[in-house]
């Protein structure tokens, strides 16, 4: 049997802040049966709408549609154009109108099939359609599996910034099937891996060396490693988001690498993929942590050398002028009174906490020094 068909061990994590809201995250490879069971359970007496993008729809949508129909479930598929550029109000309105046109009622169950964009958009449609209907998330990118499908943040971008309109809306279940990652380009795998690396760096450090064992070109050849990375990220993120659902405190630690990361995304016109932006962000913010005496030079070097193995290098940072990066950080949601805030790394596996706070004001002069020292 080829490695492609091997069914890995199935793992389930229970998420949800309150007992009455518990929902499963099912992780494994070849989860057709598990997905069907979830949809049968959550979709009982409901009409099902698969929401996906045109690209995923073509590769995996028809397959899912047929399999659910074969099981006698009333299901339809609706898609929107792929890409971050379509994660907006226009797409949400089009999807809401399409559901209304097809007379989907309050008995709707939405199945979000796709990457982070689909999860965010379809989840937001679920949160708002007829004042809220349930949804099941089926992430198909590594980034969506390790990060965006967990925690219930849904939403869209506006001309004023990324994720500036949205809601907290928890799914009824998340089914993470590794088989969707078959044939994915290396860049897409590294993109997702960076969020997993971030979670590990800030929370336990164990996944950090594990990431180096992953076959980036054919991740399913190292399916066991992949499963452990996804499981570990999902478990950590679930714990953090349960303790702080609305990002009032601890959840902010997941923003490590994101102050600089969001600035780079903005400067690139959102052409730089989110995970890569976070990768460069982690590099700069680790340097800031070192300059502030929070992170040891030895551990900074380890972070830098490990990120370099994934192609996250200082060379790419040179594309963005230091002044512009600094200016763009002021648009970050964590900015207070014009001072940018940063999550600081204390060691591989923990962040710096002061007076119970996870994000700290850092003077522009320190950020500038970090950027200049990395690019020169
Ligand atoms: N809600 C959250 O907590 C959270 C967290 C992190 C990131 N995000 C969001 O996630 C988004 C990025 O997610 P993404 O990187 O998954 O992007 P994406 O959803 O745009 O997917 C990237 C590309 O891969 C394609 N694709 C998806 N699955 C595929 C598959 N199995 N095979 C082949 N191609 C496939 C898509 O069609 C798309 O073109 C951003 O909008 C970001 O803001 C949200």
Tell me: the pLDDT tens digits for 14-50? 998 788 889 999 999 999 999 999 999 999 999 999 9
- Identify whether 106 is a catalytic site residue: no
Residues β-bridged to residue 137: 112, 174
Tell me: the pLDDT tens digits for 143-164? 999 999 999 999 999 988 888 8
312 membership: H or E segment, kind and range: none
- How confident is the model at residue 125, as a pLDDT? 98
Confidence of residue 4 (pLDDT cuts 50, 70, 90): very low
Domain with CATH 3.40.50.1970 in the chain: 3-191+212-242
Q: How far is the CA of 192 from the centre of ligand 1 (A)?
A: 9
CA distance 65 to 211: 34
Tell me: the pLDDT tens digits for 60-106? 999 999 999 999 999 999 999 999 999 999 999 999 999 999 999 99
Q: How far is the CA of 84 from the centre of ligand 1 (A)?
A: 8
Position with higher pLDDT, 300 vs 339: 300
CA distance 78 to 138: 15
CA distance 257 to 260: 6
- Identify whether 102 is a catalytic site residue: no
User: Which candidate, 65, 61, 133, 73, places its Cα nearest to that of 99?
Assistant: 133
Position with higher pLDDT, 250 vs 12: 12
- How confident is the model at residue 81, as a pLDDT? 98
From the candidates 172, 228, 235, 274, which is the catalytic residue?
274
Of 1-15, 166-180, 190-204, 318-332, the one with minimum mean pLDDT is 1-15
* Statement: residue 51 has pLDDT above 50: yes
- Return the residue whose CA atom lies nearest to atom 35 of ligand 1: 56
Domain with CATH 1.20.1090.10 in the chain: 250-375
- How confident is the model at residue 7, as a pLDDT? 64
Classify domain 3-191+212-242 at the CATH topology level.
Rossmann fold (3.40.50)
CA distance 298 to 300: 5
Confidence of residue 1 (pLDDT cuts 50, 70, 90): very low
CATH 3.40.50.11740 holds for 250-375: no
Helix pair 258-267, 322-329: axis angle to 10 deg: 110
The residues lining ligand 1, judged by C-beta closer than 6 Å to any ligand atom, are: 53, 55-56, 59, 82-84, 87, 114-118, 120, 140-141, 143-144, 147-148, 151, 153, 162-163, 180, 184, 191, 274
Position with higher pLDDT, 1 vs 328: 328
CA-144 nearest atom, ligand 1: 16
Average pLDDT estimate for 192-199:
97
Q: What is the mean pLDDT of the chain?
A: 93
- Identify whether 255 is a catalytic site residue: yes
- How confident is the model at residue 8, as a pLDDT? 66
* Statement: residue 213 has pLDDT above 80: yes
Position with higher pLDDT, 161 vs 353: 353
- How confident is the model at residue 21, as a pLDDT? 83
CA distance 50 to 126: 11
Confidence of residue 2 (pLDDT cuts 50, 70, 90): very low
């Amino acid at each position: 049997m080829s490695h492609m068909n091997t069914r890995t061990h199935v793992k389930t994590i229970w998420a949800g802040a309150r007992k009455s809201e518990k929902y499963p995250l099912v992780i494994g490879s070849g989860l057709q049966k598990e997905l069907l069971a979830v949809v049968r359970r959550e979709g009982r007496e409901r009409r099902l709408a698969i929401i996906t993008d045109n690209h995923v729809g073509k590769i995996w949508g028809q397959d899912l549609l047929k399999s659910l129909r074969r099981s006698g479930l009333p299901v339809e598929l609706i898609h929107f154009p792929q890409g971050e550029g379509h994660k907006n109000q226009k797409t949400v309105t089009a999807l809401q109108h399409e559901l209304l046109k097809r007379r989907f009622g309050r008995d709707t169950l939405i199945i979000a099939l796709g990457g982070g964009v689909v999860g965010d958009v379809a989840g937001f449609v679920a949160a708002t359609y007829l004042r809220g209907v349930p949804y099941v998330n089926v992430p198909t990118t590594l980034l969506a599996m390790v990060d965006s499908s967990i925690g219930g943040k849904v939403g869209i971008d506006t001309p004023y910034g990324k994720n500036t309109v949205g809601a907290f809306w928890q799914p009824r279940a998340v089914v993470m099937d590794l088989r969707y990652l078959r044939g994915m380009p290396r860049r897409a795998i590294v993109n997702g891996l960076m969020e997993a690396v971030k979670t590990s760096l800030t929370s336990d450090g164990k996944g950090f060396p594990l990431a180096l064992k992953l076959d980036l070109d054919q991740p399913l050849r190292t399916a066991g490693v992949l499963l452990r990375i996804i499981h570990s990220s999902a478990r950590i993120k679930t714990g953090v988001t349960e303790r702080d659902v609305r990002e009032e405190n601890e959840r902010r630690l997941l923003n490590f690498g994101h102050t600089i990361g969001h600035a780079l995304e903005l400067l690139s016109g959102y052409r730089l993929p989110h995970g890569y932006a976070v990768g460069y962000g982690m590099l700069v913010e680790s340097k800031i942590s070192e300059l502030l005496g929070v992170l040891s030079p030895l551990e900074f070097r380890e972070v830098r050398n490990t990120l370099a193995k994934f192609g996250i290098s200082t060379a790419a940072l040179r594309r963005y002028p230091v002044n512009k990066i600094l200016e763009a950080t002021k648009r970050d949601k964590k900015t207070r009174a014009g001072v940018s805030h940063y999550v600081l790394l204390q060691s591989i596996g923990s962040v710096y906490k002061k007076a119970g706070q996870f994000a700290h004001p850092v003077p522009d002069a320190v950020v500038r020094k970090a950027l200049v020292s990395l690019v020169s």
